[in-house]
Structure 1
Amino acid sequence: MTQPRRDFVKQAAAVGAAVAGLGAPLQAAPTPASAEPVMLGPPLAGPLEQAAQDETYWSKVAAQYAVTDAVINLEAGYFGIMAAPVLAAHHRHVDRVNRESSYFARRAYAPIVRQAREAVAQFVGAKPTEIVLSRGATEALQALITQYRGVGAGDVVMYADLDYNAMQWAMNALAASRGATVVTLAIPEPASREHILAAYTKALDAHPRTKLLLLTHCNNKTGLIIPVKEITALAKARGADVVVDAAHSFGQVPLTMDTLGADFVGLNLHKWIGAPVGAGAMYIREGRLDAIDRMHADEAAPLSRIESRLHTGTTNFATVMTIPDAIAFQQSIGIPQKAARLRYLRDRWVHAVRDVPGVHILTPEDPALVGAITGFRLHGRGTREANETIARTLHEEFGIFTFQRTGLANGDCVRVTPTLFNSPAQLDKLAAALRTIAARG
């Protein structure tokens, strides 16, 4: 056993014992040799742009992911695979739950949930009493929207074309159940901070009875990051509450609840935080619980606690147990450093094709408005068929996996989402492929 491996097992065992709260330290499960768990050490120091290009360091990070070599995967936006230390921890937690069964669940699990919630709260600058764990951002946001009490007959709920479809449907359902009206707006292309703020100001001023506004911090279609705090201030000044979908921004870019400024937020932990699939969180700012109804008349928790607003039933014990491990791995890299690396990978391909005739990049260069995700169209073709064809061509002809996205006011696009296991050379291959496809007309 190598020294890094010994160090990891020793530290992981200590973390496992602390999180578990009882029992002997658990043994690490075997992991693929290509992704042997190691401790990365402190985040890179120095200017972020320089740190983002330290290939020696980032190759060590990439080595913590056991990734298929059957394809170049540039579709990390679906969910984030677990890094080797997180996967090893998850295996330990699964083994413990399976071994100890109800003896564990009834005696040891409650403090573990509290510790996981505290880890999330600390990570986002919230109080633990403002956070409840969910099975994903969708579950959290659906509860926040459909249980929102401030919408009545004749009122308005509002969302944009770039908001996630499941959240749009929840807003539609809320309006239908309350006799309210749905108003939609289109985020302008090309986007800029000024254009975005102007679009929301115009829409809110045109609909003074707006009571609930849905905002997606970083959307899953083009990757545009909108100035949520400023838009939230516009809405609050006009008497509207805001629900923020931070599923894609949490862990992709630095954020805290204060930087968002909203009272209601849905978070995802299995995308950019790299927890096991089925992990998320709901945030309700202290003092705003009364705005959200109790879920399903749930009497298991008092109305004064956020747990009464989201009842998921029996949870995946091992998934929740792994949340602190996933957060610890992200913190070992550093979110500012990670964000800089993701932006570098994004820029690597975008800057190589932005001026290629026929290639239309849908996110701007403003560093405040984009992270890793970027959508594109070729030759202005926004049909579903055209973009599915592009994604299929990239896959079948060039071995590059991307995904087509729909719902944009100006037509469909193809989404590219690099992550920490991708290399600059892989993004160069994407750029070369796009130049070839675009030249075909």
Structure 2
Amino acid sequence: MVLSRREMIARLGALASGPPMSAMTVREGPPAGRPAVPEAPVVPAGVAPGRLAEDERFWAGVAARFRVSAEFVNLENGYYGIMPEPVRRAYHRNVDLLNENSSRLLRTTYKARADGIRRRVAEVVGASADEIALTRGGTEALQTLIGGYNRLRPGDAVMYADLDYHSAQYAMNWLSDRRGVRVERVVIPEPATRQAVLDTYERALDEHPKVRLLLLSHMNNRTGLVVPVREIVAMARHRGVDVIVDAAHSWGQLHFTVDDLDADFAVFSLHKWMGAPLGSGFAYIRKHRLADVDAAFADETYPAGDIRSRVHSGTMDVAPILTVGAALDFHGALGAAAKQARLRYLRDRWVRQVRDIKGMQILTPDEPGMYGAITSFRLAGRTSAADNLAIADHLMDKHRIFTVQRGGVTAGGCVRVTPALFTTADHVDRLAAALHDLPPALRRRA
């Protein structure tokens, strides 16, 4: 359903006058006389993901399993993913377990339990356990693979795109001093069609034949663009270029396995779209490529043939890792296909309603397979950080809708919108109405 402008403004007023998210708040226990919400949602049998995506009653039940603030509508869920209640409770139990047992837990049962988590993660992502090394997040995994990649020689080059994650860009730039390589930068075109992206990478690789390592975001955190990883990996491999795929944002949001990427090196987050606690992720190295990444600081805790020697995090908070199983349970109950369909539905719903706004530029294409939940927009001429921060501040201050401004896009900054599994259709309709109601000062061309 696409609302008219009159209907959107009316709905905006109605929503602004009442508590925006109170129905989604989950308390520690159910009200008297009411049963507790089951731990995981039950997906109705035989319902296609696309049809299920539009079932607000079902997704209200999913939302009831998240404890979120009633003070604002959160459409900035790309930073990290809120834990659903069964995961949050498991995390609290694991914090208590660690605090009560201290080093005895770390020196006895933790390693075996972490190995079990590793096996479960590997099964879900479609890898073998000895290709997985648990980390404290996607960034640590990226730094591990970029910094440890040992096939670069002075005079070689490495490459990344303007939309790649800033911390990964920093690590690639660092290789200039560490390995004596050149750093080449690709600009993703706007509009970013599938063919335009493929042509851009093919042209860049042809123009820079000394490139030996390419950083590639499956879904970037600036605009949410999803690129055809498998095809780009193939064209890079044909030219002798290795690829490190950053799948931190895509895994758990999109429906795929590591075989679909066909990459030898990849990084994943567990605390974004898998809903595990902050401080959990993993690196993937295809088994026969392990020797091409150095052991971390010549680590001797594990033998050289064990991928865990590639990550050394010191004494770390293990409660997030111990909770990953609960997050995988919740993810498995819903299924990646249902999650992907719902998030795309919410994204499509608000985007369709704002395309008629004068000067509105949607930076993520509608082309199938090139987007998920994350989509950014800008207004023509409003490209500075101050411009987009003003828009984000207005949405929050007047309409209690939380978004975030993003920079680093060559054509200009933007505002990022990211719904989540607890987001309702009314929430994204509220955003669309608020964007139609932006004051002239925020719309005016700079």
When normalised by structure 2's length, the TM-score is: 0.90
CA distance in 2, matches of 1:94, 1:233: 43
SS of 2:102's equivalent in the other structure is helix
Confirm or deny: 8 A CA contact 1:358 1:438 kept in the other structure.
no
Alpha-carbon distance, 1:436 to partner = 1.3
How far is the alpha carbon of 1:102 from its aligned partner?
Answer: 2.3
Contact 1:43 1:334 in 2 (8 A): no
> Segments of 4+ in structure 1 off by > 4 A?
32-37
Instruction: Give the superposition deviation at 1:367.
Output: 2.0
Structure 1 CA distance for aligned equivalents of residues 130 and 42 of structure 2? 31
> Does structure 2 retain, via aligned residues, the 8 Å contact 1:215–1:245?
yes
* Match of residue 400 from structure 2: 399
Unaligned runs of 5+ in 2: 1-26
SS state of the match for residue 172, structure 1? Answer: helix
Deviations 1:381-433 (A, max 9, x none): 21111011111111111110000111011011100000011100010010011
Question: Which position in structure 1 is the counterpart of 2:126?
Answer: 125
1:354 partner amino acid: R
Q: How far apart, CA to CA, are the structure 2 residues paired with 1:243 and 1:44?
A: 38
Give the drift of 1:106.
Answer: 1.4
Check conservation: 1:357, 1:438, Cα contact below 8 A.
no
Structure 2 counterpart of 1:84: 85
Which secondary structure state, in structure 1, belongs to the residue aligned with residue 141 of structure 2? helix
Post-superposition offset of 1:358: 1.5
Q: Do 1:44 and 1:337's aligned partners in 2 also have CA atoms closer than 8 Å?
A: no
Show the 5 A alignment for 1:282-301: 282-301=283-302
Partners of 1:45 and 1:51 within 8 A in 2: no
What are the Cα deviations for residues 85-119 of structure 1, in whole angstroms up to 9, with x where unaligned? 11111122222222222222211111110111111
Q: Distance in 2 between matches of 1:96 and 1:176?
A: 44
Name the SS of the counterpart of 1:236 in structure 2: helix
Any conservation in 2 of the 1:301–1:308 contact (CA below 8 Å)? Answer: yes
Q: Could you list the runs of 5+ residues in structure 1 that have no partner in the other structure?
A: 1-29
CA distance in 2 between counterparts of 1:97 and 1:44 reads 39
Q: In the superposition, relative to structure 1, how do residues 259 and 427 fare at CA in structure 2: closer, same or farther (>3 Å)?
A: same
- The answer to whether 1:47 aligns with 2:48 is yes
Please state how far the C-alpha of 1:31 moved relative to its aligned partner: 2.8
In the other structure, the counterpart of 2:313 is 312
Counterpart in 2 of 1:11?
A: none
CA contact (8 A) 1:52 1:344 kept: yes
CA distance in structure 1 between the aligned counterparts of 2:46 and 2:63, rounded to whole angstroms: 19
Aligned-partner Cα distance in 1 for 2:47–2:418? 26
| Cα deviation digits, residues 323-373 of structure 1 (max 9, x gap) | 011011011011100100000010110000012211110011112000000
Aligned alpha-carbon RMSD (Å): 1.4
Cα 1:234–1:438 change in 2 (3 A) is farther
SS in 2 for 1:288: helix
Task: Quote the Cα distance in structure 1 between the aligned partners of 2:202 and 2:45.
Answer: 40
What's the counterpart of residue 325 of structure 1?
326
Aligned match of 1:182: 183
Give the Å deviation of 1:176. 2.0
**What's the secondary structure of 1:437's corresponding residue?**
coil
Q: Which amino acid aligns with 2:167?
A: A
- Matched position secondary structure for 1:117: helix
* Correspondence for 1:8: none
Match of 1:268 in 2: 269
CA contact (8 A) 1:74 1:400 kept: yes
- For residues 115-137 of structure 1, the C-alpha deviation after alignment (integer angstroms, 9 at most, x for no partner) is 11111101100000000100000
- CA–CA distance in 2 between the matches of 1:101 and 1:381? 53
In structure 1, the residue matched to 2:357 is: 356
TM-superposed CA distance for 1:33, in Å, is 4.5
Equivalent residue, structure 2, for 1:280: 281
Query: Partners of 2:414 and 2:378 in 1: how far apart?
Result: 5
Q: Is the 8 A contact 1:37 1:85 kept in 2?
A: no
Q: Is the deviation greater in 45-54 or in 343-352?
A: 45-54
Q: Distance in 1 between matches of 2:218 and 2:370?
A: 9
State the shift of 1:378 in Å.
1.1
Give the CA deviation at 1:242: 0.2
Moved more, 428-437 or 45-54: 45-54
Structure 1 equivalent of residue 423 of structure 2: 422
Deviations 1:283-307 (A, max 9, x none): 0001001110111111111110101
- Sequence identity (%): 49
Number of equivalences: 412
Structure 1 residue 36 displacement after superposition:
4.9
Distance in 2 (alpha carbons) for counterparts of 1:75 and 1:206: 37
Q: CA deviation at 1:184?
A: 0.3
Partner of 1:342: 343
Distance 2:410 2:192 in 1: 13
The alignment's TM-score, normalised by the length of structure 1, stands at 0.91
For the residues of structure 2 that align with 1:93 and 1:417, how far apart are their CA atoms? 29
What SS class does the counterpart of residue 256 from structure 2 fall into? coil
Shift in Å at residue 32 of structure 1?
5.5
